[in-house]
Amino acid sequence: MGEQQKTIWQLLLFLAIICIQQSVQQKNPHYIGNRTTMVHLFEWKFDDIAKECEQFLGPYGYGGLQTSVITECIVIRNSEVKRPWWERYQVMSYKFISRSGNEQQFRNMVRRCNDAGVRVFVDIILNHMTGNNGENVVGTAGSTANTGESKYYPGVPYDKSHFHKTCSIENWNDANQIRFCELVGLRDLDQSQDYVRKNIIDKLNRMVDAGVAGFRVDAAKHMLPSDLKHIYDSVQNLRLDHGFPENARAFITQEVSDFGDPKDPVKREEYLPIGTVTEFRFGKELTNHFGGGSQIKYLKTFGTSWGLMKSEDGLVFVDNHDTQRDGNVLTYKKSKPYKMAVAFMLAHPHSKIPRVMSSFAFDNKELGPPMDGNENIISPKINADNSCGNGWVCEHRWRPIYGMVQFKNVVGEDAPLTNWWDNGSNQIAFCRGNRGFIAINKSGNLKQTLQTCLPSGKYCDVITGDLINNKCTGKVVTVDGNGNALIEIKESEDDAVLAIHIQSKLAVSKL
């Protein structure tokens, strides 16, 4: 090989290494310390998010939060309900203004959350713009545009030349229709164009400049991975003055709704080289077992053998803002099995990048967040027991869920799943190395002496209470010198889980 060829090969190898490093970094949420879990504060206002970071998320060990879409969208009053939740996805411009607040409030929120040890991830729309053809539409900032004229979206600005030709997705087995036609009538952007890419990259860089840690990419399966890669690679590094390490890349999770149908022409694996992918199969399987007829003893083998992505590739969740409305997954509406499923997610080592849902209550699936007579979002009311009011559910504030967030922080990523036990049907237990133990009772009364893998002593159950001033406010579990403990969960209990870890151990009193 000549010197010139050798130099070329060395350069190609160097570029390949850089690409691999970027891909790995874009799967790193850059949590601070030993934090492990993010929460989706669906439809929360920026000022309320900032306060929540300082008063709850930071102190209780959450690693990050996902916001709703922050860019200007149209105001919808002519649907089944006024101001429906999906209004956010009818993007009209790239201004940072929404029902959650303006750009100054957004930047202030991100700074305060980073200072509280909580990273911020933004739900972003890259695929489309609002599809109200030929109508004057009003945006959340009061902007107007006539989407039937040559300048469709003067706030960007885009015109008809920046979109794919008008067509609807009629055949969901056709990858070209999925990627180049209009999703539910929304104008489909052409991300292969330099001008479109520049506008998108500028928008993302403004978010990074505000201090965000990454993005959830809506409708990623409707865009080509090659176009997305170009966009991701062009986004600037994360901000050092917000506490990110040098050369840190934005965390990317991409919405690809792949439930394993072999006929689906767009596969999640196409997007794995450029970021993580939302793992829809995870919540489906946990719903089948904790909310359905499948026995939970079978979860002993839960993981990639079930068709799940590798733990570093998939963002896992029980429910999200879409699936909780289709009625096919567990949600807050069935709180007992839901808490079991979330606890299992946060205890299991396959859940390397978990996301907890935080909802507002709804009976009509179209319903938007709680609002006053002027259509302003009402802030959550925080009750004395940490729960929420004013129409907000706040699952992330439920004791069994935040207790398990802390459990996951303590056991970490590397503690192996050991000492699996089940009763042959719907009672299970396992250890996470020598750092944590969990038992779950789907049916019947569980009363069994089990191996906890923990040192002898008394431990507070983090599901039913807290460790305060060296006392347990909930159940106390006594572990003997062999690591065994009598574990009891009655069928009548609201919380069908028990969990202890090394940091929930009572200190030995010195006389």
Q: Are strands 314-316 and 353-358 parallel, antiparallel or unpaired?
A: parallel
| Token pair in block for residue 341 | 């499923």
Task: Give the number of other CB atoms < 10 A from CB of residue 198.
Answer: 12
Enzyme catalytic residues: 218, 255
Distance CA 125, CA 153 (A): 15
Dihedral over Cα of 41, 47, 53, 56: its sign: negative
Helix H or strand E encompassing 355: strand 353-358
Task: Concatenate the DSSP letters of all residues of 108-155 into one string.
Answer: HHHHHHHHTT-EEEEEE--SEE---TTSEEEBTTS-EEETTSS-SBTT
Please state, in angstroms and as integers, the Cα–Cα distance from residue 208 to each residue in 226, 236, 241, following that order. 22, 7, 12
| Token pair in block for residue 80 | 């089944």
Q: Are strands 276-279 and 136-138 parallel, antiparallel or unpaired?
A: unpaired
| Token pair in block for residue 450 | 């089990």
Using DSSP, state whether 325 is helix, strand or coil. helix
Q: Tokens 């934090």, residue?
A: 35
In terms of Cβ atoms closer than 10 Å to its own Cβ (0-12, 13-18, 19+), residue 33 is exposed
CB 215 within 8 A of CB 122: yes
SS3 percent helix, strand, coil of the chain, rounded to 5, is 30, 20, 45
CB 162 within 8 A of CB 196: yes
CB 277 within 8 A of CB 314: yes
Distance CA 483, CA 451 (A): 6
In terms of Cβ atoms closer than 10 Å to its own Cβ (0-12, 13-18, 19+), residue 496 is buried
Closest among 416, 414, 443 to 428, alpha carbons compared: 443
Residues in the chain: 511
| Token pair in block for residue 321 | 């803002």
